[in-house]
Amino acid sequence: MAPSIDDQDDRQARDDPARGEGSDALLRDAGLPLYLREIGAVALLTAAEEQALAAAVDRGREARRCLAAGLVASVDQDAAARQVVCGEDRASD
């Protein structure tokens, strides 16, 4: 069976350096609309949400540092450990 016109066009686009960077360029160009559609489906953080997230991550890092250095009293260790977990959870969101 002879190659279709579409197959020939694809092969020419891959093989012709003037038309792009080869098959990688075709894959990137084909994937871009899908990528843009998918990222558009996710709401971005507001400035306030981003600041709250950064603060939680910072508190978790500081609590981890204090726990590791032995700077937290035994009665406060559970609270510090919860801050570490909260900061890690927020950082992975």
pLDDT digits (tens, 9 = 90+) for 45-65: 999 999 999 999 998 898 889
Is 80 exceeded by the pLDDT of residue 40?
A: yes
pLDDT of residue 9: 55
What is the pLDDT confidence band of residue 14, given thresholds at 50, 70 and 90? low
Which is more confidently placed, 12 or 36? Answer: 36
14 within domain boundaries: no
65 within domain boundaries: yes
Which is more confidently placed, 88 or 43? Answer: 43
3 within domain boundaries: no
Q: How many domains does the chain have?
A: 1
Q: How far apart are CA 44 and CA 87, in angstroms?
A: 19
11 within domain boundaries: no
Query: Is the pTM higher than 0.85?
Result: no
Which structural domain, as residue segments, surrounds residue 57? Answer: 47-92
5 within domain boundaries: no
68 within domain boundaries: yes
Query: CA 21, 23, 28: angle at the middle one, nearest 5?
Result: 80
